[in-house]
A and B are shown apart, each in its own frame.
Chain A
Amino acid sequence: DVKVTQSSRYLVKRTGEKVFLECVQDMDHENMFWYRQDPGLGLRLIYFSYDVKMKEKGDIPEGYSVSREKKERFSLILESASTNQTSMYLCASRVGGGKNGYTFGSGTRLTVV
């Protein structure tokens, strides 16, 4: 089975800190995605990547950036954490093509204080 691993389940950071959320997948998937999940808002796409060194903005990219230097790793960066970025962050990967579903990681619950 494909495994998507997010480095932390729970994270507490201070306002203004630079925060790195790491995601690694082990099945050579081309596509990787970062979402945030908030009550009543569902899943919102932050950034995604079709391949190494490629990135595309999703619906809510403001305040975030990403890095994909290797195919298996997709990092989400909060440049200067703010309290409104307190959320559950979900990483997913997919072999290329729309007929294939995502494999999700377990999520990182980030609290910014």
Chain B
Amino acid sequence: GNSVTQMEGPVTLSEEAFLTINCTYTATGYPSLFWYVQYPGEGLQLLLKATKADDKGSNKGFEATYRKETTSFHLEKGSVQVSDSAVYFCALSRNSGNTPLVFGKGTRLSVIA
């Protein structure tokens, strides 16, 4: 079946550090891939997505590239801010039909000044 594995947290970084949160997936066919962010006390927000191999999704300084050969979709940011402290979820979806997203368990990021 389809599944998503992301690195366990919590991840603690100093402000302006480089961020990588690893995400790998198992899927039949070629899914669409997503990163969601959840700020404290809120629901999840779509951060970025990629719908085919080699696509790069980007938003708010975050980037992730859909790597079919390594079945990965790692989230990166060159310089994190305290306001980036949140929980980040990687997710996948089959491109056909209405099947639900499959989520990873989430990675908590804390950025300290």
List the interface of chain A (C-beta within 8 A of B): 4, 30-31, 33, 40-43, 45, 48, 50, 58, 90, 92, 96-99, 101-107
Contact = CB atoms under 8 A, between A and B. Distances in A.
Interface string B22-56: 00000000011010100000111110010100000
Most buried by B among A4, A102, A105: A102
B100 A58 contact: yes
Interface of B is mostly: loop
B34 to A, nearest CB: 5
Contacts, number: 60
Contact of A103 (B32, B46, B98): B46
B94 A98 contact: yes
A98 B100 CA distance: 8
B101 A102 contact: yes
A43 B45 contact: no
Interface of B: 31-32, 34, 36, 42-46, 49, 51, 89, 91, 93-101, 103-106
A40 B89 CA distance: 13
Contact of A96 (B46, B98, B100, B101): B98
17 contacts: A30-B98, A42-B89, A42-B103, A42-B105, A92-B44, A98-B93, A98-B95, A98-B99, A99-B32, A99-B51, A99-B93, A101-B93, A101-B101, A104-B43, A104-B45, A105-B43, A106-B42
A40 B101 CA distance: 18
Contacts of B95: 97-99
